[in-house]
Structure 1
Amino acid sequence: MPCQFFAYVDEAGDEGFGKLRNPGTTGQSRWLGLGAVIVTSENDRLMPSWRDEIISLFPQKKNRRDLHFKHLNHNQRVAACNLLRGKPLGICVVASNKETILDSEEISVFKRKQHLYNYLVRFLLERLTAACAEKARINRNGPASLFATFSRRAGTDYQNMREYFELMRDGREVIRPVRSINWDIFNPANIRVENHAVRAGLQIADVATSATCCGLEPNEFGHVEPRYALSMRDRYLKHRSAILNCGLTLIPPLNRCPLNDEQRLFIQNLIRR
């Protein structure tokens, strides 16, 4: 029997390169993270109830049905992540250290509107489709398919994104990638775009993605907060028991990524086997 998977995609940070934020200053984020939560079709219908469970933890928000990680205080964020760690979902995040792009030969390319975002979407879908294929193989469910819903972003051309993936699918790239999206599982026509407020899956993806990036993006005092993501550690996708380059992918790779001691400790604790 065919197995359907549903991924909800949100981002943390921004694409800007004008002035990267330092402790005590304003500016653009030093990281851009793109993340997804992925569920089976059976669990997809449970997403609104999971979102409502989180909101029910906060009496002052009980009449709201719009969950935003940035509007939660520290204790609420911990509670939300603790609840999600018990749910049957997978987390996959791709995080780009923008500082490393500033000094690269490709900076002019990545400064183009939406280019970095599309680049991270590609990495994300490569990992999501690989996870779907592996899950279907293990469970002997027959062919698998993935449907991806993106949180609507101002100024993002989603038709352009579909055309980008159609170009890859049809083998019209000048440089072939090391990995590839599994086109037997994902069809660019299966991209959906929804407003954050109307899809519980997108709100849960916001929690998972933002929680992960809190362990990477320094706050105004120069510190990161690893507790949120580490509480959900068992939910990150794995390949051969490894989270790195599956449930969490760093760009550039870990051995070339400039990290401070707090960031490195966070990564080590998240990916340990």
Structure 2
Amino acid sequence: MTTRRRKWPWPKRAIRESPRSVRPPIRQLPRRAKARGGDLEAGDASPVLRRGEYGVRGPSKDTSFLGGDAPDYDYVLYVDEAGDLGLKTGAEGGGASSKWFCLGGVVIARKFEAELVEWVRDLRFALHLGGGPGLHYKNLPRDLRVRACDLAAGLKMRGFVVASHKENMRGHENKRAAIRNGQQPFYNFMLRVLLERVTSCVAQSSERRFGEPRRLKVVLAQTGGVYYSQTLAYIELLKIQAEGHTTYLNAMEIDPRVLSIHLVEPVSAKTVAGCQLADLVTSAFNNALNPDGTAPLFNAPAEALAPIMARRNKISGEFGVQLLPWSKQIPDEFKPIFRSYGYRWG
């Protein structure tokens, strides 16, 4: 007697819970917490998390390309991108790409890692999208984009985004990074800027909560044309430079105490709930900077995320929200969203 295998309504690797025939009452989404700089658990009154206390599943054996045992961690960063990596802009025609490239993410304490699937499902139900396996910003109509970001701003996470005006970035690339990273210096440089800010936030949070720096796991949504072995090599180089205080262009440095290349994992964004939350944050800012599409230069979704965007000295600008190039010389049409986060022009 042969046993027929059950056919699932979506791939097995889709967000990791089996479908439910009867949906229980939707639990209320967390109330919006008051933003407090680098606090990754704003409004959380639970006791300090002890390592392994909640039994959350650790990283898989394939967490890095280097093999071996991965160290333990207490924070997770999910990273996604919006726009494309090409430096040729739309004004130049001939296979041109978008004017902006945004790389961003969300950071959570590890004890919330097991709740991410439920967070995404609750968002979908609150948006009347049903209980499907994913949430993707580009598929949301204009009004639901604002609502989704408003709800996401109540979750216990911190948001970060690095937004690059590509036309002004040409000629500003790090030549040393270009030599060492072959075909992808632009992506690696953007990731470096993001990690500098995230590791600073994580170090601050972990020292306050645990009395010492704790590790950060980095989950990267896969991007076409990026070779992650090169990215890992670049991250390791930045760690070595930070430890030796030899970082090139060292306005900020990666905090090497919280970062390990054994905890860097490229994944498909379609199968990881945390990457879908990262997509929500990153795409909202790209929406505010994109003059094309169904909702051009639409600022409201990105502005709704203000409670969770990381802050330094009570301002998100140049920390949780980072504009590139450093000179801040961009066309006036793109300035409103940055003004909302503390940037100023004369």
Normalized against structure 1, the TM-score is what? 0.88
Instruction: State whether structure 2 residue 331 is matched by structure 1 residue 259.
Output: yes
Deviation, structure 1 residue 63: 4.3
Contact kept? 2:287, 2:295, Cα under 8 Å: no
What secondary structure is seen at the aligned counterpart in 1 of 2:189? helix
Q: Is 2:151 aligned against 1:80?
A: no
In structure 2, relative to structure 1, the CA distance for the partners of 1:162 and 1:57 (3 Å cut) is same
Q: CA, structure 1 residues 199+160, in 2 after alignment: closer, same or farther (shift >3 Å)?
A: same
CA distance in 1, matches of 2:235, 2:144: 38
Q: What's the CA shift for 1:143? A: 2.7
> Which of structures 1 and 2 has the larger relative contact order (alpha carbons within 8 angstroms, sep 6+)?
1
CA distance in 2, matches of 1:243, 1:199: 27
- The list of structure 1 runs, each at least 4 consecutive aligned residues, that deviate by more than 3 angstroms after superposition, is 105-112, 172-176, 220-223
Match of 1:134 in 2: 204
Is the Cα–Cα contact under 8 Å of residues 101 and 163 in structure 2 kept in the other structure? yes
How many residue pairs are counted as aligned between the two chains? 266
Distance 1:5 1:164 in 2: 21
CA distance in 2 between partners of 1:99 and 1:216 (Å): 13
Is 2:268 the counterpart of 1:199? no
Within a 5 Å distance, the mapping from 1:115-194 to structure 2 comes to 115-171=185-241, 175=248, 177-194=250-267
Q: Which runs of 5+ in 1 are unaligned?
A: none
Contact 1:97/1:257, CA 8 A, preserved across alignment: no
Change (3 A) 1:249 1:32: same
Identity %: 24
What's the RMSD between the two structures over aligned residues?
2.7
Deviations 1:75-102 (A, max 9, x none): 1211211110111110011111101034
Look up the SS of the partner of 2:215 in the other structure: strand
Structure-2 change in CA distance of 1:233 and 1:39 (3 Å): same
Q: AA paired with 1:215?
A: A
* 8 Å Cα contact 2:99-2:166 kept in structure 1: yes
Question: Of the two, which has the highest radius of gyration?
Answer: 2
Counterpart in the other structure of 1:208: 281
The structure where helix makes up a greater share of residues is: 1
**Which amino acid is the alignment partner of residue 28 of structure 1?**
S
- Structure 2 stretches lacking a partner, 5+ long: 1-49, 52-72
1:268 aligns with 2:339: yes
Structure 1 residues 271 and 256: alpha-carbon distance in aligned structure 2, compared to 1, 3 A threshold: closer
